[in-house]
Amino acid sequence: MTGSSRTPPTLDRLHAAGAAVAGVLAEPAAWQLCDADLLAGLDAAYRLATAAHTVGIALLVEVDQRKLPIEAGASSTQAWLAATRRLSPGEAHRDVMLAGLLAAAATDGIRAPSGSDPDATVEGAVLAGGLAAGGVNLDQAGRIAAALGELPPDANTATRVAAERVLVDQAGWHGPAALTRLGHRIAERVDPDAADARLGAVLEREERQANRLRCGTRYADGHGNVVYRFQVPVGADAFVRPVLDTLARPERAGPNGEQDVRTGGQRLADAFVEAFRRLSLTGNLPEAGGDRPRVVVTIDHDTLVSGLGGGSIIDTGDQVSVAAVRRLACDAQIIPAILGGDGQLLDLGRARRTFDGPIRTAVIVRDGGCVHPGCDRPARWCDVHHVVPWWKHGKTSLDNGVLLCGYHHKLYDNGEWTIRFSDTGIPESIPPPWVDPDQYPRRHERFLERLRL
C-alpha cells in the first residue's frame, strides 16, 4: 500500500454508481412511468446488474492472481467467494469459471470491451463484451463458458471464437438451458467422433445405474389412500409418459363447459388410474391430436450400426443409448421416417383437412414439440397448425404444418405471430412489430444445431 489518501478512479466510479442506484431506491416512482418507460427501466436495471457483476468478476481475476483467498486461509478461490459473498457453490463456481475465461481476454484492468467485437480473435473477448453491454446475463455466461470447456483441447482459436460468437449471439433469444443444449451440439459438430463416444459412454453408465436402482413401492396409508412410487430408467419411461400425458390433459367439466379445476398432480393421479381401468376393459387408449400414443425414436443409421452415441425419444427429448433403442425396436411400435441427407423428411401430405396418422408423425419428427421460440411443450400437447389456413386453400402437408401448443396456437391464429419456412424447410417464427420492430425471424433452439460456425 502507498501513503496516498487519494481514492482510485475505479472506486470513485463504483461509489458513484452505488449512490445513483441508492437514489433510485430512495424514491421509487414506478407507478409514474408509462408502459414503454416501465419496460425500458426494467431492461436498464437488469443490464446494470449484469454489468456490475461483470466488474466484480474482473476484480476477481486480480484477487485470484494475487492469491488473496489462499492468504486468508481459504482452500480455494471458489470456497472463499462462496463464504465471503454468501453465494451458493454453483454461483461461486460460475463466477470463478468466468473469471478464468475472461482473464485471457482482459487487456486493461477491469475495463471490458463495450460490445461484442465481430473481429475478436481472443477467446473470451466476445463474451466479455456481451456481459459488459448487458446483452448476456450471468446464468447465460456460465452456460457459455461451460460449453466452451466442452470443446476438444486441440480445437484451434478460430473455431473456439466462432463457437463463442454463435453462443453469445443466440443469448439474445434463448435462455440458459437452450444455450447448454446448443453448446453440446457445437461440441458434437467440432469433434463428432469424440462426442459420440463420450455420449455413448455416459448414457450406458447412466442406464446401468438406473437399471440397478429401478424400484416400485405400494402401501396403504390407513386414511383411505394407496400410495404408489416407481423409479424406472428413461428408456422404460418411453412407454409410460405418452399414456399419462394423454390421459392427464385438462378437460372441460360440467354441462356448461366449466374449466377443469383439478391440479396437475390430481390430473396425473387420475390418469394413472384411468390407464389401468381402460387397459382392464379394452386395452385401448384415447386419441390425442388425431394420433394414438406411440413411441417415436430417431437415430442415425450409422450410429445404430456402430453402437457409438445414442437416439432421441421425440416426445420427451430424452436421449437413450443404442442398446435401449434396439430394445425399443424389439418391444414397441417404432415409427419409421425416411430422412434426406440434411435430415429433412419427405412430404407425406394428403388431401384432407386434419393432420393425423403418418402426416402428424412426420410433423412431430421434424418439430419435436411446439416451435414457438422458448416453448418447452412436448409434441403430445400440441396441435398441428396450418401455416396457410385450410380455408385459404392451404394444404395438409409437411411444408404447411407446424406444431404449436394451445397457448401459442392462439397467437398465430390471431395473426400476432406468423410462420415461414426457410430454404431448408425449417419453421421460423416472425414476431409482431411491438415485440421486434425489425421482425427478425426466430428459430426454436431445437433447430439451432444446423447453424454453421
Residue predicted with more confidence, 165 or 201 = 165
CA 170 – CA 182 distance, rounded (Å): 9
In this predicted structure, which of 80-84, 247-251, 267-271, 390-394 has the lowest mean pLDDT? 390-394
In this predicted structure, which of 107-116, 133-142, 413-422, 438-447 has the lowest mean pLDDT? 107-116
Would you place residue 429 in the very low, low, confident or very high pLDDT band (cuts 50, 70, 90)? very high
In this predicted structure, which of 63-67, 267-271, 291-295 has the lowest mean pLDDT? 291-295
| Domain membership of residue 110 as a residue range | 30-190
- Is 419 part of a structural domain of the chain? yes
Q: Quote the pLDDT of residue 294.
A: 55
Q: What is the mean pLDDT of residues 47-53?
A: 84
CA 396 – CA 404 distance, rounded (Å): 15
- Is 54 part of a structural domain of the chain? yes
Domain finish residue from 125, 160, 190 = 190
Among positive and negative, which fits the CA dihedral 55, 60, 66, 72?
positive
CA 429 – CA 442 distance, rounded (Å): 5
273: left (phi over 0), alpha (psi -120 to 50) or beta: alpha
The DSSP bridge partners found for residue 312 are 298, 319
- Is 208 part of a structural domain of the chain? no
Would you place residue 402 in the very low, low, confident or very high pLDDT band (cuts 50, 70, 90)? very high
Q: What are phi and psi of 106, to 5 degrees?
A: -70, 130
Q: What are phi and psi of 36, to 5 degrees?
A: -65, -45
- Is 320 part of a structural domain of the chain? no
Nearest CA-CA partner of 296 in 272, 327, 329, 321:
329
Q: What is the mean pLDDT of residues 275-294?
A: 58
Q: Quote the pLDDT of residue 148.
A: 84
pLDDT at residue 333 above 60? no
The DSSP bridge partners found for residue 411 are none
User: What are the pLDDT digits (tens) for 21-48?
Assistant: 887 777 767 778 888 888 888 888 888 8
- Is 381 part of a structural domain of the chain? yes
Q: Which residues contact 166 (CB under 8 A, 6 or more apart)?
A: 182, 186, 451, 453
Q: Quote the pLDDT of residue 346.
A: 37
Q: Which residues contact 213 (CB under 8 A, 6 or more apart)?
A: 231
Q: Quote the pLDDT of residue 116.
A: 44
Domain finish residue from 190, 210, 236 = 190
Question: Grid coordinates representing 440?
Answer: 427478425
What is the per-residue burial (b if ≥16 Cβ within 10 Å, else e) of 430-449?
A: ebeeeeeeeeebbbbbbbbe
Q: Quote the pLDDT of residue 119.
A: 54
CA 171 – CA 136 distance, rounded (Å): 6
Using the structure block, give the residue that is written with the C-alpha cell 394414438.
Answer: 292
Distances (CA, A) of 107 to 12, 61, 402: 21, 12, 48
Q: Quote the pLDDT of residue 361.
A: 87
For the chain, what's the residue count?
453
Residue predicted with more confidence, 116 or 400 = 400
pLDDT at residue 79 above 50? yes
In this predicted structure, which of 13-27, 71-85, 243-257 has the lowest mean pLDDT? 243-257
User: What are the pLDDT digits (tens) for 129-155?
Assistant: 888 777 888 889 888 888 888 788 778
Domain finish residue from 190, 222, 247 = 190
Q: Quote the pLDDT of residue 292.
A: 47
Q: What is the mean pLDDT of residues 185-190?
A: 80
Q: What are phi and psi of 376, to 5 degrees?
A: -115, 15
What is the per-residue burial (b if ≥16 Cβ within 10 Å, else e) of 79-103?
A: ebbbeeeeeeeebbbbbbbbbbbbb
Q: Quote the pLDDT of residue 373.
A: 86
Beta-carbon count within 10 A of 277 CB: 11
Mean pLDDT for all residues in the chain: 76
pLDDT at residue 255 above 60? no
Question: Grid coordinates representing 311?
Answer: 437416439
- Is 103 part of a structural domain of the chain? yes
Q: What is the pTM of this model?
A: 0.53
CA 324 – CA 239 distance, rounded (Å): 12
Nearest CA-CA partner of 171 in 134, 204, 199:
134
- Is 307 part of a structural domain of the chain? no
Q: What is the mean pLDDT of residues 432-440?
A: 87
> How many domains does the chain contain in total?
2
Q: Quote the pLDDT of residue 304.
A: 64
Q: Quote the pLDDT of residue 353.
A: 47
**% of the chain with per-residue pLDDT over 70:** 75
What type of residue sits at position 267?
R
DSSP 359-395: HHHHHHHHH-B--STT---BGGGEEEEESS-GGGT--
CA 335 – CA 435 distance, rounded (Å): 38
| DSSP structural state of residue 75 | S
What is the per-residue burial (b if ≥16 Cβ within 10 Å, else e) of 339-373?
A: eeeebebeebbeeeeebbeebbbbbbbbbbbbbbb
In this predicted structure, which of 172-186, 408-422, 438-452 has the lowest mean pLDDT? 438-452
Residue predicted with more confidence, 178 or 331 = 178
CA 44 – CA 42 distance, rounded (Å): 5
User: What are the pLDDT digits (tens) for 310-328?
Assistant: 777 766 666 777 766 655 5
Q: Quote the pLDDT of residue 428.
A: 92
DSSP 315-329: TT--EEEHHHHHHHH
- Is 196 part of a structural domain of the chain? no
Nearest CA-CA partner of 206 in 324, 378, 331, 124:
324
Q: Are 142 and 78 in contact (CB under 8 A)?
A: no
Write down the number of H helices and E strands in the chain.
16, 9
Distances (CA, A) of 411 to 290, 353, 408: 22, 21, 5
pLDDT at residue 423 above 60? yes
Q: Quote the pLDDT of residue 287.
A: 58
Q: DSSP 3-state assignment of 47? A: helix
pLDDT at residue 303 above 80? no
Q: DSSP 3-state assignment of 46? A: helix
